[in-house]
Structure 1
Amino acid sequence: MLKGKTALITGSTSGIGLAAAYVLAEQGINLVLHGLMDDEAGQALADEFATKYNIKTLFDGANLMLAEDISVFMAKAIEVMGSIDILVNNAGIQHTESIDTFPENKWDAIIAINLTAAFHTIQKSLAGMKTNGWGRIINIASVHGLVASLNKSAYVAAKHGIVGLTKAVALECAEHGITVNSICPGWVDTSLINNQINDIAQQKSVSFEQAKYALVNAKQPLPEMMDPRQIGEFILFLCSNSARSITGSALPMDGAWTAQ
């Protein structure tokens, strides 16, 4: 069912996005990769996927803060690949600071990349999905799309916005064979979190693993971080026929964080 379809994943050169790309490629799904790489490195990654999985690939390093860059990126992807069948809005950035000193430029960047970019990619993908009578839009939100934490005003605002956008688009697209869902992960084991863990280890004079446990357990009853591939596998399930009635949902993968 999914072999030969095309997935576009923003922020897919590392972390959750890259893990999802591998999961989808294993099913014969063509890929549009995107991320913070120069064109040469990005093309090399795309070629690696194409060779290993015998799929069609494309790489673009569009600046998701700029609507005009997203427009060019999406037009190129649709022209080269035919249409975008599966859209995964995964790209995101973070900055933590109290609201009274939170830099305006950081707020603007977080809202642009974590929320507004998803509006643009969704809008540009819908025509093809409606024509084909099939589409899957999966927005990677966060547990912070459901609850808040200290010093994360912009991130929490953007992720709550993604959850709301998901619901609204799901209502508009339900009769067109298009499902729209957001995934809300808790702690995910990526290299981006290592600096935070190292800081805790130094402050408390404990091992890296002890600091990691302390960080996770402070919020999440399940005392372990999730492997990014688990999110990729959940994305694959949401693309399957078994999930055709799941739409407009904010789906936690948070180790019971929001159950408290």
Structure 2
Amino acid sequence: MTRIGTPGTPGTPGIPGAPGAPRTAGPVSLELDGRTALVTGAAGGIGRACALRLAAAGATVRAVDRDAAGLAGLAAALPDGARGGIEPRPLDLTDLDAAERAAAGIDLLVNNAGMQLVRPIETFPPEVFHEVLTVMLEAPFRLLRGALPHMYEQGWGRVVNISSVHGLRASPFKSAYVAAKHGLEGLSKTAALEGAPHGVTSNCVNPGYVRTPLVERQLADQAAAHGIPEERVLADILLADSALKRLLEPEEVAEAVAYLCTPQASFVTGTSLVLDGGWTAH
């Protein structure tokens, strides 16, 4: 009788010592001492929370944003005694060659930078559509190009793409954002398939509406588009289909990102971790 053990465990018919596999099971923990991470859009919101979380776990974080003052504030926010550190890297992601160079030699990549404009398609400025897709889709591709050679060489890497519920569902008046996030989902899955033999995982985290400056600006844009007060936009539009009637906090998103970087998440790849308060359950 053939004995079948646990796939991927040494001494079984699985794949012993597969790249990126944890040696033992255990409680979820995140220790990134000696690792280098890159987080885009790190000056505020979700990116700021992710950069601080990964630095607290021991990583040296290349914090990328075009907001140099915000990056300086981020570095100052790291508490004394933190195991990792913050390296401010002011950068406009529309400079795609510079973005690719910035990712060389990193172990973890968090593609977070985003922008939003709420307009009907027929009045959506073409130059803004181009910029949104450049920052939110083409730049992540170039960052992957810069990051993957080192990850492949060492047999370990983590790619986390901050997508959105709008990477899975569409809403009116958000053509560029929805298109970019849907594209990011496909890019993430492709990276997962290509990276699997090299111990590299790639996943999306899909928040609903998060308490960030981007959402605050969106409230104002939606209020202007619909001719209603901002508080009604929040209750009647943004959170209308959410079972949980509150905004998600950036730190909650950062914890999801952290989990995907743990050894215990080594079998999670090519998927989307949805944090939407039940929005897509309808």
Same fold (TM over 0.5): yes
Aligned to 2:78: 49
Aligned to 1:220: 242
CA distance in 1, matches of 2:229, 2:147: 50
User: Mind listing any 5+ residue stretches in structure 1 that lack a counterpart?
Assistant: none
> Structure 1 residue 142: deviation in Å?
0.7
CA distance in 2, matches of 1:168, 1:150: 27
Whether 1:15 and 2:45 are equivalent positions in the alignment is yes
Question: Could you give the per-residue CA deviations for residues 186-231 of structure 1, whole angstroms, max 9, x where no partner exists?
Answer: 111113323454675996569x5x7633344313122111111001
> Structure 1 residue 154: deviation in Å?
1.0
Aligned counterparts, 1:126-205, within 5 A = 126-197=148-219, 200=223
Q: Residues 63, 222 of structure 1: CA spacing in aligned structure 2 closer, same or farther, 3 A cutoff?
A: same
CA distance in 1, matches of 2:268, 2:163: 16
Checking the alignment, whether the CA contact within 8 Å between 1:50 and 1:57 is kept in structure 2 is no
Of 73, 81, 89, the match for 1:60: 89
| Partner amino acid, structure 2, of 1:255 | G
Of 48, 56, 69, the match for 2:98: 69
Checking the alignment, whether the CA contact within 8 Å between 1:43 and 1:58 is kept in structure 2 is no
Checking the alignment, whether the CA contact within 8 Å between 1:184 and 1:250 is kept in structure 2 is yes
CA distance in 2, matches of 1:188, 1:93: 14
CA distance in 1, matches of 2:228, 2:117: 23
Aligned to 2:253: 231
Aligned partner of residue 100 in structure 2, secondary structure: helix
Between Structure 1 and Structure 2, the one with more helix by share is 1
Checking the alignment, whether the CA contact within 8 Å between 2:101 and 2:146 is kept in structure 1 is no
Checking the alignment, whether the CA contact within 8 Å between 2:37 and 2:60 is kept in structure 1 is yes
Q: Residues 193, 176 of structure 1: CA spacing in aligned structure 2 closer, same or farther, 3 A cutoff?
A: same
| Partner amino acid, structure 2, of 1:9 | V
Identity of aligned residues (%): 37
Aligned partner of residue 184 in structure 1, secondary structure: strand
Alignment size in residue pairs: 250
> Structure 1 residue 257: deviation in Å?
1.1
Of 44, 51, 57, the match for 1:27: 57
Report which of the two structures shows the higher radius of gyration computed on alpha carbons: 2
Q: Residues 224, 153 of structure 1: CA spacing in aligned structure 2 closer, same or farther, 3 A cutoff?
A: same
> Structure 1 residue 67: deviation in Å?
1.6
